[in-house]
Amino acid sequence: MLPEHFLDRMKELLGEEYEDFLAGFDGPSFQSLRVNLLKGKTQELAGKVDFLKEAVPWAAGGYYYQPESRPGKHPFHEAGVYYIQEASAMAPAAYLAPKPGERVLDLCAAPGGKSTQLACAMMGKGLLVCNEIHPQRAKILSGNIERMGIGNALVVNHEPAYLAERFPSYFDKILVDAPCSGEGMFRKNPEAVKEWSPENVKMCAARQQDILESAALMLKPGGRMVYSTCTFAPEEDEETINRFLENHPEFYPEETEKYPGMTSGIGVEESIRLWPHKLKGEGHFLGSLRKKGGMEEGPFYKGSEEKGILLGECGGWEEFSSENLKVSLPGAYIKFGEQLYLLPTGAPLLTGLKVLRPGLHLGAFKKNRFEPAHALALFLKPEEVRNKIDLSAAEAVSYLSGQTFPAEGEKGWYLLSVEGYSIGWGKLSGGVMKNHYPKGLRQY
């Protein structure tokens, strides 16, 4: 039941390939996930599960899996060991290819698949700003940043234009995975078909142009951004890039490697189209745009870094960390009410920003004691703490449901893991491990 206007345009666009494209809607959609490389190496996980067999060619850690594997039901999912993500959707972050130590912006970031992929490439070093304009979606984004154990990310909730005023020429790399008409998801999501209209395509194209304008202001000279959509509409894809380039002579499209099944964009040779009838993935489009270096005209970012508070002002954190951690965590401490966070090194001033997650949540001050945050547990590795207990997958299911269990050892905080992957906190007292897995996350 695809829209007639959409089919007419695709027939004109694809010519003799149209029948193959149409037949693809009756074929299967492919299930895929991406291993969280912050948690360890892919080969380590491959020895513990049976669904990492066929790699997604264009994404480090990306794998196809069979639906019966149900990786979302395994405790590894709650431990942030992988992110279930459509294969084509892995391409934009892979092509942006951020490096450790860079300043990176994911401008339209929810629900967080691409942000967490960028974080893996950055290996915990540098600054990742994840923005989402819709407050509820921003909360989902923040939750996924936490689950994947990411410590160097700020999650903010702003219009792109506001950030552009705040951060001129600030970022080394920017991902603009723009809101679109969603034609590439028609096979996977029938709801996208119901919401489609030619008018919506035009509205999306206009909005995409505004978002790109903001991104252009925030990119450093010499920096690179990747523009992407999950639609086939040229008006939202190549035509959006062409309109942007006409207005911005300081940018030029970069040639990028294409994997089997990918094709050049229509009229923009350097851009890439991912067609569902040519590869194992849904419809996607991306283009890499470089800002010329050596530009002297501004404006440039003139704000300072967030200095934070002194360690002595962090209450029970100093005592907790010295008693329980084997590592020191670099960054600046900052308080939000009773909550303590560790800002990424070099984070900008937060005044005037709507921040949902200012870096790594360390914990909370409660009645003259410090209670560690769930985010800290997911960030740490078992070898980085003094007290730990490793659970089997079956034992982890019980823990994730909120159950206590008997244990021996010194009383105090324990980092609990499932087959080597951190999953949450427990507190041992009187031979019983009290369960500190967040009540709002319990699902078994």
Q: Name residue 27's amino acid.
A: G
| 360: phi then psi, degrees, rounded to nearest 5 | -90, 125
Query: Half-sphere exposure (CA, 13 Å, Cβ side) for 111?
Result: 10
Catalytic residue among 108, 120, 204, 230: 230
| CA distances for 231 relative to 17, 86, 350, angstroms | 17, 14, 35
314 is catalytic: no
Query: Half-sphere exposure (CA, 13 Å, Cβ side) for 61?
Result: 28
| CA distances for 111 relative to 99, 136, 145, 243, 346, angstroms | 22, 10, 9, 28, 25
Residue with tokens 């819709």: 134
| 216 neighbors 168 (Cβ within 8 angstroms) | no
Q: Is 277 left (phi over 0), alpha (psi -120 to 50) or beta?
A: alpha
Extract the tokens encoding 185: 């998801």
β-bridge partners, 287: 227
For helices 135-147 and 113-122, the axis angle rounded to 10 degrees is 40
Is omega for the bond preceding 234 within 30 degrees of 0, making it cis? no
Q: For strand 412-418 and strand 388-391, is the pairing parallel, antiparallel, or unpaired? A: parallel
Extract the tokens encoding 303: 């704000």
Which of 305, 322, 226, 318 is CA-nearest to residue 265? 226
Cβ partners under 8 Å of residue 405, min gap 6: 395, 398, 399, 432, 433
Rounded distance, CA 290 to CA 219, Å?
9
Range list of H helices, 135-176: 135-147, 160-166
Q: What angle do CA 280, 271, 22 make, to 5 degrees?
A: 40
The catalytic site residues sit at: 230
